[in-house]
Every structure is written in C-alpha cells, then in structure tokens.
Structure 1
C-alpha cells in the first residue's frame, strides 16, 4: 500500500465518523436552532462560539502540534505527553479564573449587551474541559488510534445533540406535569444550548481520563524539554490565533461595521448560510487530522519530500469535487435552513473555494513545522489576518456579508502563494503546481457554466439538477482521461 493510500485510509477513518457526527450537529445547529432561536440570539450564539474558538487557541497554544514534533519517535512520546499535559493543566486553571473575573466587560465588548455575562461562565468551564481533553486527543492521533479518536468525537457531538433536544423539547413537555415541579424558561433558550454543550464536554473529558491515568505512574515534567516546546509552540499559537481571525472574526467585524439595525441580522443570516460550506470544512478537517502526524512521522523517516507534493495534488482532486458537488446542488441543500436565511446562500460557493485553499495551505504550511521555522509561519498567518481585517473593513460596507466571503477567499489565496514561495527557498518540496492550478481553474469554469445554464433553463430546478449532474460526470471524465496515469503512479 502506498503512503498516499495509507493517508487516504486514515483520512477516511477520521472523516467518516466526523462527517456522520457533524451532519447530526449541522441538522441541530443550522436547521433546528435557526427555528428555535431568534435571529438576534442566533447571532449571539455565533459570537460566543467565535469567542470560544479564540479562547481555545490561548488555552492550548497549539501544544498538540508541538507534541507531534517532539513526540513523533516512540521513545519520546511519553515524556513529551506528560510535559505538554502538565503545562496545559496549569495554564487552564489560571485562564478559566481570568474569564470568570472579567465576564461582565467581556459581555459588553463581544455581545455589546449588558446582563449576558453568565454566558461566559458557561464557556469558562466548556473551554477548560475541551483544553484538558486536547492533549489526550493529540496523543491518540500520534499513536494512530484514529478509531478511538473518532469514536470520542462522535460521542461528543451525539451527547451535545441529545442534551439540546432534551432541554428544548423534553424539558418543556416535562414541565407540563406540575407534579414534577420542573420549570422551563422560554425566554432563555440559548442558556439551555450552552448548558448542553457544557454537559457534552464534561462527558468527553471523563472519557479521556484513561489516557491520563495510563501514564500516571510515569508522569514527569522535563523542564528542559518544556523550554524547547514553548519556544517551538508560541509562534504556532500566534498562527492559530490568526487562523481564528481569518475564519471567525468576520462575524465580529460584520457587527462592528454594519449599521446597528442590520448587524445582528446579517451575522445570523451569514452565519447560518455559511454552515452549508460544512462539507468542505469536514473534508479539510479530516485531512488535517490525518496529515499532520503523517507528515511528521515520514519526515523523521527521511521519506522522499515529493510525496508531500503528491498529497497536495490528491487533496486538490477530491476538494474540487466537493466544491462542485455542493455548489451544483445548493438549490436542494439550502432547504435545510429556514427560508429567512436563504439570502446568504449565494455566498456559499465563495466560502467553499476559500476552505479549499485553506486545505492547500495545510499542505504547503507543513514545511515550516518540519524545518523548525515556526516563526516564519507566524509572520505568514499574521499577515493573512491583517489582510482579512483590512478587506473586511473595506468590502463589508460595499458588499455586506459577501465582502466577508471574498475577504476569506483572497486571504487564503495570498497565504498559499506566500507560503509556497518561502517553502521553495527554505525547505524545497516539488509540488505539481501546473496540475493543481489547472483543476482549480477548470472547476471555477465548470461552476460558471452551471451558473449560466441556470438562466438558460429559466431556473427550472429539475432541469438544472440534471444539467449539473451531467457537468459533474464530464468533469470526472476529464480527470480520468487527462491524469489517470499520474494518479495511478502516486497511488502505486
């Protein structure tokens, strides 16, 4: 079995359970909660999860990737794990206390509303539990325990879905029986959503405790190693923070830039519609879960660097199929959302292409992690965050939330180009750039043909779907006849 086939197998193991769980989560968040929550509350939920994503970077400071770097050899895994876990445990306690202390000003700054500081109490606990589970999850990936990793992720999502449905459907029904003395607060549905998340995170933390207990007898903190790990990881933390800005802060900027009467509604509409890009984010997430430890292990084994270029090409082939597949059937997929959110669906193809480029960045960006030049990666990511912020500020007043979508795409394109140029200078890897660009351009052309065909077919949905399916088969045939030999070669 080739290295790429092994990577594809691990991506499938990470991806299939992740997809199944995310589909359930997507149905709850995008379909169910949009009907349960007001647009304003859905916007508040979106902003709180932006805060959570940012805080997770601070809480974990990318120690997972650092564990891959210093624990990729079997004889170093245990020492690297206990040292990394000790650091995370100590900082998590401190940071959770800080959030609780400053909850009120955070509420006013992020939600621009007083009296909602209790949300931050929930998230101080949620983020702490998730941070404490992060290093055990990283160890499972490092130990090639993809099935166990994926099972725990599925349990997390299923538990979250179960608790949300229990609180928003079961609790109101139980409250009808006055003898039980159970009350349901119709005005605070968002509290129930966050409490459900807290319970799910608590359950998963309990389930990863065996990873901690399995090394308890050998627990040690290597201070010399910790210094090396912190030197390696702090630029990665900045990179991760910049990544959160690129992916999440568009919602916060929308709230700041748009007029007050449009801001909350736009955040809710764009936030809900952007979740239709989940199909690309699922693929890139599963790929990254499998690829990061794969790259580190094969770098240690002195594998031919060209395999990294072949991985990027294989990723591109699958990703352009995802791009076209979702874009071609948006007319059907959009009905997962209530009709009041359909206005934002037109931005989804832009976001799909943006997340495709994010996956390409994951491919190319491995060089600075392997070469121990994480500071260069930090400069690239900070530059990307700066581009995102500037473009959002410039484009949102003109294009609304479409400005956010275009800003995200342009940012990732620039980051891929800059990262590739620096890769060739410091850690040369031969990427099939011509082939990758060809399929990216052709995919956009095929999307444009579909968009033009819509007008010619008078927006008649059955004909549009038949036409788009035909285009998808033509695209698949193009790949087969043009590059079947190359694909067979890299899979050999």
Structure 2
C-alpha cells in the first residue's frame, strides 16, 4: 500500500504541473475562438500539427530509451543520462542548422510563403523543447514532481503574460514609450497576431531551457559520454521514434489535410472541437506521468505483471467514468470553452474521445514489449494504425463531404492497434484473467450505452450520469476502497 500511496501522491503533484498549463490553454482556447475567424484559427492549429510530427522525429524515442537503460544493471545512471542528453543535443542542433538554411523552401512548400517567420519561431520552439525532454524525464525518474510541476507552471505563466501583453496591454503604455512598448513594436514589425502566439511560445520554451540548464550543467559532461551505449540507445530508440511519428501522423494528418483540401473554415471548427475531445488524452498524460517510471522500476519484480494488470484495469475504469462525464456535459463544456461559430463539429467529440481512450489502454499495455527490449513490435503495430488513418482519409477525400470520416478513422486506427497488441501480448507475455476481460467489456458497453441514451435524451443527462456512477460504485466497491486506502 505504501507503494500505491507514493504513486498517488506523485501523480497528484505531476497532475498539478500538467493540469494547470492545460487549464490556462483552454482559457485561451475560448479567447482564440472568439477573437479569430475559423480560417485564422486553422492556421494556428496547422502550425502545431506540423511541428508535432517534427518533434516526434527529433525525439528519437530517447525518453523511453532513457527510462529503459537507466534500470539495466550494467549501466551507470550518470553515464546513461550524459549519453542520452548529448545525443539529443546533437540531433536537435543538426535539425536547427539544416532547417534554418531551408526555411524559405519549407515555408513555401507548406503554403506559408508569406510567413517564413512562423517557421523560424517554430524551429526554435522545437529545438528548445526537444532539448528539455530528457532533463524533464530526469526529474520524474528522481522523484522530483514538485520541481517538475514548478517548471511547467512558470513556463505557462511566461507564455500567458506575453500573449496578454501583445494582444492588450501594450495600448496602455503606448504614449510612455517604455521598454515593453518597444518590444511590442519589434515583434509587430515581423509578424501578425497569429504570430504573437508563436512568439510567446518561443520565449517560454527558451525560459524552460534556462530552468533546466542547472541540471545539464551539473549532471552532463562529455567525459561521461559512452559511444557504445549511444549506439545501443540509438538502436533501441529508432523503433520507438517510428512509433511516435506514426502516432503524430494519426493525431494530426486529418487536420493537415482538411485545411489543404477542404477549407480553413471547416478545419478551424474541426480542430477546435478536437481540442475538447483531447480531454481524454489529458487524462492519459496525467496517468502516464506518474505511472511510466513506476512501470520500468517494477519490471524487475516477480509480481510485476500483477501490478500492470491491476493498474491497467483501474486506468480503463476511470477513463470510462471520465468519458461519460465529459460526453454527458458536452454542451456545458462547449458553451464555456469554444465560441458558437465552431460548434458545427461537435459530433466528432465522443468518437475522438473513445479513440483516445483506446490509445491510452494501448500505451499502458505497450510497456510489455518495451521492458523485453522489443520496441520494433510497437513500430509494426503503429504502422498498421497509420495505414488505417491513411485509408480513412483517402475515403474522406474521395467522398469529399464529411469531416466525420477522419474522426471514425482515428477511432478505428487506435482500436485496431489495441486489438493487435492484445492478441500478441496474450500469446507471448501477459494473460489477463477471464473475469477481468469480461468486466472490462461490460464496462465499455455500459459506458457507450449511457452516452448513447444521453445523446438521445439530453434532459435526462444528469440522472443517467448519477445512475452510471452509482452502478459503477456498486460493482467496483471493493477495488475502489482498496485504491483509496
């Protein structure tokens, strides 16, 4: 129980550092959807969609690689950390040099020939963010959730201040010609209001780098770089990198293609509603922050599989509760978080959320092939997901009349990945007992049934949610009590 208690406390602290920035981002989501036209919001989301794919490539799977090699007995922890940080720094620096030299070509190819400054700012954002990945992982490994959360909170506060200032506050000091005014004048000389957001992100990413710099200066030295270890890490990380890229494609291809082949207006609505559906990935990320290092630590123990199975079951249980509560109150969330002109894409939200829950279960189960040093399994499964994503988007462009098809593609892609992984794992590694599988299926069907009825009878939403929670509490009373203890 002490292990669970420590795990719960750490997860709560990580959650604060993760949830607070997300809350701030959702506050800005309301502001952006009110302030910007749908086609302008499409530009904003498109740049981030493109950058996520690039970050997936540059990360080279080194975060998971770091976790894995850290707990191998024949490697010194400081050597592992120095080696992986230097690898990440070299990869990121090479990317920055090449991309800046190709900036005009890349911005033209992506349809932003009038705004190459967008790409310059994003190149710097990507550079600093990728460098910070491993030091932030070091904080998680060394049980420093408070420091981790503090850095995240400072980061979002810097970004928020700059955005608010650039959009509003500069007017109050226009006549005084203060330093802040000249900063605004300089920013305004090379970009527009969409670019203000990217500029704020760039400065916050730079600030994040300076906050983790003491860790790098103290813990990383060239003498501790191990070339053989680096090659082993590289070999282990490439399949994970390919899987990460596949995930980025699954998450962002729809938005990239809708913008370029349908319209910015539709993409703006689709992207805004997609962010509401991303509440489920928020739950996944919070769970992952606290659980993933624990998974690797427990991999040495004889009872590791029992822990994995129980935690995965709990993840599914709370994920379905989260799903019902969000879908049951979707009108309230939409009213407060997104301007009404974006509501046309509301029907995608339950579909994308369930797809993200499938992804969360897949992520939990994927630990099994990582701890036996077979990340290539994840690459193959991810490629299956990418194929399905491409297939649905091709159908989408052939029919050319519904943005619902990419949403169903996301659900089908992640559902297929989970199914393939479960079939492989059941034969080769884990064996969930029949009772747990039966209960999981019942929970899924019950949650979907409740959401379906709520959609048909919104007036009964509160009553149905209460009924659902009461039944879940009755069915899982013993497990929930043990978890609380």
Q: TM-score range by the shorter chain?
A: over 0.9
- Bigger shift: 200-209 or 53-62? 53-62
Output one character per residue of 1:234-257: Cα deviation in whole Å (capped at 9) or x when no partner. Answer: 000000000001111210121344
- Bigger shift: 432-441 or 201-210? 432-441
Displacement after TM superposition at 1:161 (Å): 1.3
Any residues of structure 2 matched to 1:261-272 within 5 Å, and which? 263-272=263-272
**2:17 touches 2:148 (CA, 8 Å); kept in 1?**
no
Q: Distance in 1 between matches of 2:439 and 2:188?
A: 57
Q: Which residue of structure 2 aligns with residue 139 of structure 1?
A: 138
Displacement after TM superposition at 1:79 (Å): 1.1
Displacement after TM superposition at 1:278 (Å): 3.5
Q: Does 1:197 align with 2:201?
A: yes
Q: Does 1:470 align with 2:474?
A: no
Q: Which residue of structure 2 aligns with residue 481 of structure 1?
A: 474
Q: Which residue of structure 1 aligns with residue 56 of structure 2?
A: 57
Q: Does 1:230 align with 2:234?
A: yes
Displacement after TM superposition at 1:489 (Å): 5.8
- Over 3 Å counting, the alpha-carbon distance change for 1:216 and 1:384 in structure 2 is closer
Any residues of structure 2 matched to 1:430-469 within 5 Å, and which? 430=432, 432-454=436-458, 464=459, 467-469=460-462
The number of aligned residues is 475
Displacement after TM superposition at 1:42 (Å): 1.5
Instruction: Describe the SS at the equivalent of 1:300.
Output: coil
- Over 3 Å counting, the alpha-carbon distance change for 1:302 and 1:175 in structure 2 is farther
Q: Distance in 2 between matches of 1:78 and 1:131?
A: 20
Q: Distance in 1 between matches of 2:82 and 2:115?
A: 37
- Over 3 Å counting, the alpha-carbon distance change for 1:219 and 1:211 in structure 2 is farther
Displacement after TM superposition at 1:480 (Å): 2.1
Any residues of structure 2 matched to 1:376-391 within 5 Å, and which? 376-391=377-392
Q: Which runs of 5+ in 2 are unaligned?
A: none
- Bigger shift: 162-171 or 61-70? 162-171
Q: Distance in 2 between matches of 1:197 and 1:481?
A: 46
Output one character per residue of 1:430-452: Cα deviation in whole Å (capped at 9) or x when no partner. Answer: 26222112111100100111112
Any residues of structure 2 matched to 1:72-471 within 5 Å, and which? 72=71, 76-110=76-110, 112-175=111-174, 183=185, 185=188, 188-216=192-220, 219-258=223-262, 263-335=263-335, 336-395=337-396, 397=399, 400-430=402-432, 432-454=436-458, 464=459, 467-471=460-464
Displacement after TM superposition at 1:115 (Å): 1.9
Displacement after TM superposition at 1:3 (Å): 4.5
Q: Distance in 2 between matches of 1:434 and 1:236?
A: 31
Q: Which residue of structure 2 aligns with residue 458 of structure 1?
A: none
Output one character per residue of 1:277-327: Cα deviation in whole Å (capped at 9) or x when no partner. Answer: 232221101111222211110002333312111111101111111111111
**2:78 touches 2:224 (CA, 8 Å); kept in 1?**
no
- Over 3 Å counting, the alpha-carbon distance change for 1:481 and 1:343 in structure 2 is same
Q: Distance in 2 between matches of 1:105 and 1:40?
A: 23
Two-structure CA RMSD over aligned residues (Å) = 2.2
Instruction: Describe the SS at the equivalent of 2:296.
Output: helix
**1:57 touches 1:241 (CA, 8 Å); kept in 2?**
yes
- Bigger shift: 59-68 or 146-155? 146-155
Q: Distance in 2 between matches of 1:428 and 1:373?
A: 15
Displacement after TM superposition at 1:217 (Å): 5.9
**1:371 touches 1:427 (CA, 8 Å); kept in 2?**
no
**1:2 touches 1:491 (CA, 8 Å); kept in 2?**
no
**2:81 touches 2:220 (CA, 8 Å); kept in 1?**
no
**2:162 touches 2:200 (CA, 8 Å); kept in 1?**
yes
